[in-house]
Amino acid sequence: MHGLIFVTWEKYLAERFGEELLHVYRKTIGETPATAPLASRVYNDDTLLAGVHAASKLTGLTTDTLLREAGRYYLMNGLTTHRCAYILTQVRSARELLLAMQGAHLQMRRTPDKLIPPVFGYEMASTNPNELVLIYDSPRHMCSMLWGAIEGAAERYGERVRIAERACMKQGAAACRFELCFFPPAQAPAVRIESPQQMARRRTQQQLANVVLAILPTSNGMTLLELRALLQLRNVSASHTRPIALLEALNHLQHAGLVSSTSNQPGDDLSQRRYWRTPTAGGPLSVPRGHP
Ligand code: HEM
């Protein structure tokens, strides 16, 4: 399981129950500063499950409640917002985000990191554009986390959502079936409105990410410094070729599955890390609009 899930899980524990509980939790599962999760790495599923069970014992909450709350947090917290910016800037509602995640999660499976994010199925149950049936059949059976993630997706856009899980893998069904109805806000909530400066910054980031994506090779990869040199040769402005700006663009593209790197190979370090374009089926990430 991807490190982003582990890192947001621990951030959730700290924010929900306090640093002291996180400290005891880390001791219980034998985590040390050296083994603390990193958002750029991939970890064993069992490690997360053991952590959820340990947290359940420490907090007295069921594993389902914890996973649901963590799922909501996963979609709402600043780290995901930052890392997933490439995807998030392309969607304008919770329903659009859920529809985009089939392609985006599928694209992440094409990286060499052996990720298996859930590939959602969709059904059209009615002509109401606010309704959606979402099918989840991940062997991880983490539908509680999905429930919370759907709530978090709605909250991101100031919407309410009615969720009914009509079939569940944990009760023997072949897939979980979520019937969803979104209620858009009467007016855009103030907290979601970005300042013109923030919007301009986001647009610039997206443009830089697209330039980086176009320039990366499809095999062997290149280091950050090689990428920088190539961009400088093409007269890309100095502010855009700063290593920090390039790393951010690469990070955003990696979290959309569009760029792969050697970050999970033995002996990896940032100066030697190589980046290349992940193969896509059917061109760049497309965000569906309207009905599936
Ligand atoms: C917005 C950017 C998003 C990114 C970058 C992202 C990325 C990921 C990654 C990397 C994993 C771990 C997969 C693995 O390591 O094998 C994952 C798992 C998961 N994602 Fe997402 N995701 C995003 C949005 C969403 C949304 C909108 C939903 C649903 C509302 C969602 C639902 C889930 C669930 C339920 C899991 C874990 C359960 C399972 O694997 O079956 N994600 N996601």
168: domain CATH number?
3.90.1520.10
**Domain assignment present for 220:** yes
Give 118's contacts (C-beta < 8 A, 6+ positions apart). Answer: 105, 136, 137, 138, 140, 142, 146
Q: Whose CA is nearest to atom 22 of ligand 1?
A: 105
Whole-number pLDDT of residue 267:
86
Among residues 145, 93, 51, which one has the least CA distance to residue 290? 93
Question: Structurally, how many domains does the chain consist of?
Answer: 3
Asked whether 169 lines ligand 1 (CB < 6 A), one says: no
Domain end among 165, 192, 219: 192
* Confidence (pLDDT) at 12: 97
Question: What residue type is 124 in one-letter code?
Answer: M
Q: Assess whether 201 and 187 both reside in one domain.
A: no
Of residues 247 and 81, the one with the higher pLDDT is 247
Of 192, 215, 246, which closes a domain? Answer: 192
- Point out the domain boundary residue: 176, 192, 208: 192
Task: Write the pLDDT tens digit of every residue in 183-195.
Answer: 988 776 544 556 7
Q: Which atom of ligand 1 is nearest to the CA of 98?
A: 27
* Per-residue model confidence (pLDDT) at position 193: 55
Distance (angstroms) between ligand 1 centre and the Cα of 145 equals: 9
Residue 191: predicted pLDDT? 47
Longest Cα–Cα distance of the chain, Å, equals 59
140 lines ligand 1 (CB under 6 A): yes
pLDDT in tens, 226-265: 999 999 999 888 988 999 999 999 999 999 999 999 988 8
Question: Does any ligand 1 atom lie closer than 6 A to the CB of residue 145?
Answer: yes
3-state secondary structure (DSSP) of residue 208: helix
pLDDT of 276: 96
Residue 6 structure tokens: 């582990």
Among 92, 105, 146, which is best to mutate for testing ligand 1, by the most ligand atoms less than 8 A from CB? Answer: 105
- 20 with 53, same domain? yes
Range of the domain at 159: 91-192
Average pLDDT over residues 286-290: 38
Please check whether residue 47 lies inside any domain of the structure.
yes
Q: Are both 184 and 200 inside the same structural domain?
A: no
Query: What one-letter code names the amino acid at 34?
Result: A
- pLDDT higher than threshold 70 for residue 10: yes
Whether the predicted pLDDT of 55 surpasses 50: yes
- Residue 150 φ then ψ, to 5°: -65, -40
